[in-house]
Chains A and B, each alone.
Chain A
Amino acid sequence: MGRAPEQQKRPRSRLRSRMLAVSVGAVALALVAAACGGSSGSTTAAGGTKVAGGTASLALPPSTTPNYVFPFTSSAYISVTNSDYLAQLLYRPLYWFGTGSQPTVNTSISLANLPVFNGNKVTITLKPYKWSNGTPVTAQNVVFWLNMEQAVGATDYGAFTGFPNTVVSGIKAVSPTELTMTMTKAWSHNWFLYNELSQITPMPTAWDRTASGPSSCTTTVSDCAKVYAYLDAQSKALSSYVTSPLWSIVDGPWKLSAFNADGHITFVPNKSYSGPVKPSLAQFQEVPFTTDTAEYGVLQSPSASGKVNVGYIPTQDLPAKPANAVVGANPLASKGYDMHPLPVWGINYYVQNLQSTTANGPVIKQLYFRQAMAYLMNQEAVIKGPLKGYGSITVGPVASAPVTQFLSPTGKQGDPFPYNPTKAKSLLTSHGWNVVPQGQTTCTTPSLCGPGVKAGQALKFNFPYATGTAWIVSELSQLQSNAAALGIKLNLEPKPFNQVTALAAGNCIVAKIPCNWDMADWGGGWSFAPDYLPTGETLFKCGAIANSGGFCDKTNDGLIDNTLTSNASSAMYSWQDYLATKLPLSWQPNADYAVYEISSNLKGVWPLSPTLTFTPENWYFTK
């Protein structure tokens, strides 16, 4: 895998997603499977004859195990593992994101039809899904979630964004299948769907209770805090997940048949699943691993007690990818695996702190300096070198891989600051710096260096970074060397991931944490989930708490506001093209989430979605 998922803990805006992707091809195949649903025997499928049944096993990311089933997940437990590897297999979100290899809404497996906008009024019509206890998935089940969000979202929901309170009013279930609400202003339809409605997971009426009996959170917001406390407590009883009368009511394609807190989990098909594609496998298993090396050992040498159908290759074992190829020579081809790299829907960067209280603060505030540093970051070389070809260039605030409708034509042209030490040097010298290659560059003309920069000030920075990701170490060593060639000294300080994020992942002034740091890199950047539309209000607006570098630009704020209210792609394009060159953060390559190894006789797995979700109901074996 490009990066072990555990190692690349991203400060996901609100960690993890709802949705999964099913490619058009996979959907087509799955529809064929659905047509034959329930039948035994085999049918002909691409790449062999389809065999009904069988057990497919998926390797969990290293050192991670699902441990929280309640889909209204608190900050402490919200993660890719809990969401994508557990909750979403059981409880489907209202809207599923991930269509093939695109991070877009998947209308086929969403629980509701696309919202209809009439002015500021939004109407959501639910499809005829059923819970496993036979009751229908209703608009009231959606209101149940929305009420809980209003009651406890600010403290207990890990993806809290202010929705629905600050975004809509007049939420009403007008019928069992129809829900209406009024947007507080004319929000962009895409933004409303991708970043707000994307968070909702309908909850069954049976969950509307406390220890003392049924409650009324579905109708009364003030009742929700106690219901939340009860459900949260129930979610702490891991050993009861399989037998719990609460957690066994599902509307997803799978039910739990075994749950071991060590990460060994077995799912079986939910026979009453009412979605378009019924599971073909008899069982779907998740298998935990301590390290990616241990996982790779099992891929190389499966045994009766340990076999993996969908696993990943550790970075150090990846074959280099030749130019213009999708993958390198698969080391496990002879073992019956196909190799597939999966990009993640996100961007990557290191932070330069524009609010630094050190003497370097005034230097970092200068755009020319940040641009000089950007010219010294050789993204292409990092991808070809330590990432062995499995990564993409970060071109601005919108991800460049996969290429989407959200990326501007300018963004599609590539790195706005391709490696160019000559340009970097020129930027420094033209702004009053005496560049001393391999020495110490100093400011000689303060009036040109910028406000607050003193004569004789040296370009010398402390740079803490998170240890544990080999390619980040290589990248920063390369940057250090490139910077030294222009007399810029980067004092790299390896630190644990948590210490780097605690230092640099929040806006230091807004989060009221120390601002006495200059640069930092936790290695993971930002993933867009469950706010799938990369509009930037949480990362780049003045005063946003996740705006790590403290970048503040009124023009940028205005352009972001346009993206929140305009339905035109041009609003997204204008904003990202403007911001990409302002370097609010310093772009660095985005490593692929993983390079997967998938059993050749297990079909329907690929393509996986860059939103990192899974739909094993599409998987089937062939012979």
Chain B
Amino acid sequence: MAVFLIRRVLQALVVLLLVTVITFALLRMIPGNVAVAIMGPGVYRDPAAIKLFDTTYGFDKPWYTQYLIWLGHLVRGNLGYSWKLNQSVASLLGTRLPKTIALVGISTILALIVAVPIGVIQAVRRNKLLDHVFNGSSTLFYAMPSFLLGILLILVFAIKIPILPAEGPQGEGLGVIFTQFNALILPILSLALITIALFSRYMRSSVLDNITEDYVRTAKAKGASERRILIRHVLRNSLIPIATLLGLSLPGILSGALITEAVFNYPGMGLLFYQEAQSSDYPVLLGVTVVVAVATVVGSLLADVTYAVLDPRVRYVSQ
């Protein structure tokens, strides 16, 4: 297991390095002058300011030199400074990332808690009324764009039947999540309903695959109850694809929350990336990319490890 882990971690570091090189190079290939993008077209009247900007931030150097300087800072824990937001990238991420993690974390846990039983029930009662109802619902939510779901939730639960706030918790720090938890309900629902739709469909399919396996027949032959077979044998094996899916979904969910964040006025990391991409705020883009890349790599790593725990054959093959 240790060798397996070390090899995976080393691979992850190489992937991270490659991600930063490619992202850095791609950002530098975007047409347009960074100084003008940051300072606005009015700065054209002030060429000295453009020159000063280029010198200060190293844009007068080749891109690979800029990259090495940035990498040097990164290694020392300095993610850079946002030219647009007048804050260090670390401070921005420190404020935004916990909010996104809280939103995504709670909604993902909720999705798992709901989706796994639904998937199992659907598989056990396949082609029955309940299966059709859940199938229809999950298709509906899975097909629905998250912004539309968010707006519909606001329309129904904040405007037509005003029982919940139209925006997420407001204020500094994570504490507001607890003091204004009712404000987090709609954003969580907005993310969770779509994730439930996705996970429950995978779960249903996975359980269906497993209940026709030989080991289930053997267990039945040994006289195990259907409930015991389902919980002790089928469920564990059926969770393997969900674990993989969860690991791989992590970066997607982190960055994908931007729509929910935008709709519910909940400034998290996804939204930060989107907004700063529009203003060519490279340090922020690179900082968020590093975080998402780390999340991707860690997600894959966790999926691999979980897979190895759930299915020991994976470890043996790796070794």
CA A209 to CA B312, docked complex, whole Å: 68
> A501 on the interface (CB 8 Å rule)?
yes
Q: Please name 29 pairs of A and B residues whose Cβ atoms are closer than 8 Å in the assembled complex, sorted by A.
A: A12-B40, A12-B42, A13-B42, A75-B40, A75-B53, A155-B51, A158-B42, A158-B43, A161-B45, A235-B86, A236-B86, A236-B87, A238-B86, A260-B172, A262-B267, A287-B170, A288-B265, A291-B265, A294-B166, A301-B159, A305-B169, A305-B170, A306-B165, A498-B278, A503-B31, A503-B32, A506-B44, A544-B45, A546-B45
Q: Is the CB of B171 within 8 A of A260?
A: yes
- The answer, yes or no, to whether A303 is at the interface (CB within 8 Å) is yes
Q: Which 7 A-B pairs have the closest CB atoms?
A: A505-B41, A502-B32, A506-B44, A11-B41, A297-B166, A294-B265, A75-B39
CA–CA, A161 and B46, complex, Å: 8
CA–CA, A297 and B158, complex, Å = 8
In the complex, the answer to whether B32 meets A545 with C-beta atoms within 8 Å is no
Residue of B nearest to A259 (CB): B172
Instruction: Decide if B95 is an interface residue (CB 8 Å cutoff).
Output: yes
Q: Give Cα A369–Cα B4 distance, bound, in whole angstroms.
A: 71
Closest to A260 in B: B172
Specify which chain B residues have a CB less than 8 angstroms from the CB of A77 in the assembled complex.
Answer: 86
Q: Are A11 and B166 in contact (CB under 8 A)?
A: no
- The reply to whether A76 and B39 contact each other, CB–CB distance below 8 Å, is yes
Q: Say yes or no: is B13 at the interface (Cβ < 8 Å to chain A).
A: no
Contact indicator B36/A502 (Cβ below 8 Å): yes
In the complex, whether A601 has a CB less than 8 A from a CB of chain B is: no
B172 touches which one: A158, A262, A498 (CB < 8 A)?
A: A262
Proximity bits, A507-523, B CB within 8 Å = 1, else 0 = 10011010000000010
Task: Say yes or no: A301 contacts B39, CB within 8 Å.
Answer: no
Docked pose: A75 CA to B154 CA in angstroms: 39
Decide: B41 and A305 in contact? CB cutoff 8 A.
no
Interface string of B58-97 (1 = CB under 8 A from A): 0000000000000000000000000111110001000100
Residue from B43, B51, B267, B280 having most chain A Cβ neighbours under 10 A: B43
Distance A306 CA – B168 CA, assembled complex (angstroms): 9
A contact residues around B95 at 8 Å (CB): 261-262
A47 to B48, CA, bound (A): 53
Residue-wise interface mask of A (281-294) relative to B, using a CB-CB cutoff of 8 A (1 in contact, 0 not): 00000011111011
Find chain A residues with CB under 8 A from B45 CB: 13, 160-161, 538, 544-546
A105 smallest CB distance to B (angstroms): 22
A294 touches B167 (CB 8 A): yes
Q: In the complex, what's the smallest C-beta–C-beta distance from A124 to chain B, in angstroms?
A: 26
Q: Whole-angstrom distance between the alpha carbons of A292 and B265 in the complex?
A: 9
Residues in chain A near residue B41, CB distance under 8 A: 11, 501-502, 505-506, 522, 546
Q: Is the CB of B47 within 8 A of A545?
A: yes
- The verdict on B140 contacting chain A, using a C-beta distance below 8 Å, is no
Task: Check if B271 is an interface residue, CB within 8 A of chain A.
Answer: yes
Cβ contacts under 8 Å, A538 to chain B: 45
Q: Are B42 and A14 in contact (CB under 8 A)?
A: yes
A247 vs chain B, min Cβ distance (A): 14
Docked Cα-Cα span, A301 to B153, in Å, equals 13
